[in-house]
């Protein structure tokens, strides 16, 4: 399939993108949530938010592989936008779980994370490249160097100056004006679509167990609701 005009169904249309910016206004969020408020279905996130007090068995996300239609085009985008470093592009290899299919892998690195992103061209048995559906993941996030609010704002400004359109943000995923959009996590973020409409978040300053404890001590979310 070589349908370059394909746009996944979860990609926000332009008119919705205009509304997205209004999420930073409390009156707009209240208007959107008017129906669950009136019907008493609305609830606070606080009952579950930040209930993290013990480690898991996992340390970090090691790698993510995503399908792309054109490695060269995607590589150029991740180099230009994210400043990622091309590590290597491999020869065709058998698809790991589709009999008769083949893949080509391009490994991209971030400054502190070697080969964290793999751009994968997938070929069906007849040799045709497939088109990513856009419906396996909502987005993935790359942390911006510096990891502070100012760094993400500067990153967003840099992309706009270079002519790349943000599909959302910069926002802060909490309820604090002027950037807060009412969401959770505390991370400052801006979002861009890559050439295959994969939604990529560029973020920093996410809440941690340490700054949660500074604010609330040992109180779990349900105890402070």
Nearer to other proteins, 66 or 149 (CB): 66
Task: Decide: is 36 part of the binding site for other proteins (CB under 8 A).
Answer: yes
Binding characters for other proteins, 150-169, by CB under 8 A (x = yes): -x--xx--x-----------
Task: Decide: is 141 part of the binding site for other proteins (CB under 8 A).
Answer: yes
Task: Decide: is 203 part of the binding site for other proteins (CB under 8 A).
Answer: yes
Handedness of CA 164, 165, 168, 172 (dihedral sign): positive
d(CA 2, CA 89): 22
d(CA 128, CA 112): 35
Binding characters for other proteins, 165-194, by CB under 8 A (x = yes): ----------------xxxxxxx-------
Handedness of CA 206, 209, 210, 215 (dihedral sign): positive
> 203 and 195 in contact (C-beta within 8 Å)?
no
Binding characters for other proteins, 91-110, by CB under 8 A (x = yes): --xx-xx-----x-x-x--x
> 224 and 46 in contact (C-beta within 8 Å)?
yes
Task: Decide: is 7 part of the binding site for other proteins (CB under 8 A).
Answer: no
Tracing tokens 């959302």 back to the chain, one arrives at 168
C-alpha atoms less than 13 angstroms from C-alpha of 207 in its C-beta half-sphere: 18
Task: Decide: is 5 part of the binding site for other proteins (CB under 8 A).
Answer: no
Per CB under 8 A, the list member of 14, 15, 38, 112 interacting with other proteins is 112
Task: Decide: is 19 part of the binding site for other proteins (CB under 8 A).
Answer: yes
Nearer to other proteins, 72 or 94 (CB): 94
Count residues near other proteins (CB under 8 A): 99
d(CA 2, CA 194): 17
Tell me how far, at minimum, the Cβ of 190 lies from other proteins, in Å.
11
Binding characters for other proteins, 53-82, by CB under 8 A (x = yes): xxxxxxxxxxxxxxx--------------x
> 158 and 110 in contact (C-beta within 8 Å)?
no
């Amino acid at each position: 399939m070589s349908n370059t005009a394909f746009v996944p169904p979860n990609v926000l249309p332009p008119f919705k993108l205009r509304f997205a910016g209004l999420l930073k206004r409390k009156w707009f969020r209240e208007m959107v949530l008017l129906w669950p408020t009136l019907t008493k279905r609305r609830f606070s996130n606080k009952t579950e938010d930040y209930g993290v007090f013990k480690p898991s068995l996992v340390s970090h996300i090691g790698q993510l592989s995503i399908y792309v239609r054109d490695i060269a085009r995607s590589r150029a985008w991740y180099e230009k936008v994210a400043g990622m470093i091309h590590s290597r592009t491999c020869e065709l290899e058998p698809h790991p779980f589709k009999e008769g299919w083949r893949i080509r892998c391009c490994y991209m690195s971030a400054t502190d994370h070697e080969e964290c992103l793999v751009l994968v061209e997938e070929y069906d048995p007849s040799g045709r490249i497939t088109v990513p559906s856009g419906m396996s993941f909502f987005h993935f996030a790359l942390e911006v160097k510096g990891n502070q609010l100012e760094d993400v704002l500067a990153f967003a400004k840099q992309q706009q100056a270079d002519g790349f359109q943000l599909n959302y943000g910069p926002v802060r995923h909490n309820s604090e004006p002027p950037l807060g959009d009412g969401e959770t996590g505390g991370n400052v973020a801006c979002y861009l679509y890559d050439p295959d409409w994969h939604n990529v978040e560029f973020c920093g300053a996410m809440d941690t167990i340490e700054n949660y404890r500074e604010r609330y001590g040992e109180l779990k979310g349900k105890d402070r609701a």
